[in-house]
Structure 1
Amino acid sequence: MRYTGRIFSSIAIFLVHLVYIIYYFFRDGKVEPFDLYTYPLLIVYGYLMGKQYDKMKFYSEKDELTGLYNRRFVIKTFEKIASLTERANSKLFLMVIDCDNFKQINDKYGHHKGDLVLIKIAETLTKSTRKSDIVARWGGDEFLIIGHYKDEEGLQTLLKRLDNDLEKLSNQISLDVKVSIGSAIFPDQSQDLEELIKTADRHMYECKEQRKVL
């Protein structure tokens, strides 16, 4: 959670009260002790008000369970990211990651264990990607990654790393966790977020079917 609201509110109240004290000092030639004593309290009040703003801002962009970006944030920022990518004559990749057996985990072990699986998947995705990549919980047991696309070799390397790291997750939490991953490229396959997700979804379900055959 960022500290923008807390910093801004505290500084704003500090400056406003400082101007107030200076004004009355020049007008009356003195400063009332009460005005000085309340200074720290006002700054604390500003900090707490700013904290509420930061909390609201955080939950408007982040998923409460996993701490990843949420669907609202992705939809809101994709157009801006896409525009910058086009100007740079570059490309983006979009990945959809789905937990294949999430319903079985919930049914067999309960929702608490299911939540733990989602949290651990989120942590694994964050560790396995770059800081510049957007990692989001799209909904339920589905996750999204958006990042700069360099070439197909780099994308396949990332896919393999994610696949391996998510496979190791089963051993870490002593639970069989299976995932499928699909990808799409902007702007080659589409310039529209919804269409890119549909393409990545299709590839992801193809991955699921291949797993069943194997």
Structure 2
Amino acid sequence: MRYRGRVVAVCIVILFNILRYGYYHIYLCYLFEKSFFVLTGIFLLVAWIGGRQYDVAKFYAEKDPLTNAYNRRAIDKVFKKQVSQYKNQRKKIGVILIDLDDFKYINDTFGHQTGDELLRCVAECIMSNSKKEDYVVRWGGDEFVHVILDLKEDTLSEYVRSLRSKLSDLDVESVSAVSASIGIAVYPDDGETFEVLIQKADTSMYEMKKA
């Protein structure tokens, strides 16, 4: 969770109190009293609490509470912003669709608690396989999307190999093995909108499943 709301709120209160000090104690020549610090402390506390409420609301508006990955609503906005930056730079974006194999069976056999733990572990695994500037999204029940920014040539095959290896090494109670079907699409080669790229990645994933 970021601190932007809290930082902005506290900065506003500090600026307000600097102006308050200048007006009452310098311009009007009022005596400097202890109550000034008491009120300033109260204002800062209220600002911090209010800013935290903003940060929490923003966090849950963008993130999936179970896995801490981004949600579908957040990634659409982010992708459009990145595309507008990349258009004239000839940079590419990878859209990787990851669908867990046999998740329904695991959920039904071992219970939802085990299923939730598996989803959390998979999300952490994908995040550990990503760069700091990338975005990992929980796309559906057992589907994730990894948006790889500034995609380099010939890195996707190594990415898939590394991700499969990390998934197979996951240690989740009662689950003997974790695997996933993976679909790939690249901006702008396979499309210029997120919707088109997801469809392309979905088609790629099902072709992989058939194979």
Q: TM-score, normalised by structure 1?
A: 0.90
**Which one has the bigger helix percentage?**
1
Letter in 2 for 1:202: T
Structure 2 counterparts to residues 105-120 of structure 1, below 5 A: 105-120=106-121
Secondary structure of 1:149's counterpart equals coil
Structure 2 counterparts to residues 70-81 of structure 1, below 5 A: 70-81=71-82
Q: Is the 8 A contact 2:98 2:145 kept in 1?
A: yes
**CA distance 1:30–1:124, change in 2 (3 Å):** same
1:31 Cα deviation (Å)?
3.5
Match of 2:36 in 1: 35
The size of the alignment, in residue pairs, is 208
Letter in 2 for 1:208: K
Secondary structure of 2:65's counterpart equals coil
Choose which of 128, 152, 158 in structure 2 pairs with 1:150: 152
Structure 2: 5+ residue runs without aligned partners?
Answer: none
Letter in 2 for 1:14: I
Matched, 1:9 2:16: no
Match of 1:191 in 2: 192
Structure 2 counterparts to residues 133-172 of structure 1, below 5 A: 133-147=134-148, 148-151=150-153, 153-169=154-170, 171-172=171-172
Percentage of matched positions with identical amino acids: 37
1:183 Cα deviation (Å)?
0.2
Q: Is the 8 A contact 2:164 2:179 kept in 1?
A: no
1:32 Cα deviation (Å)?
4.4
Structure 1: 5+ residue runs without aligned partners?
Answer: none
Q: Distance in 2 between matches of 1:36 and 1:134?
A: 43
Q: Distance in 1 between matches of 2:202 and 2:62?
A: 23
Q: TM-score, normalised by structure 2?
A: 0.92
Q: Distance in 1 between matches of 2:166 and 2:37?
A: 57
Q: Distance in 2 between matches of 1:62 and 1:89?
A: 29
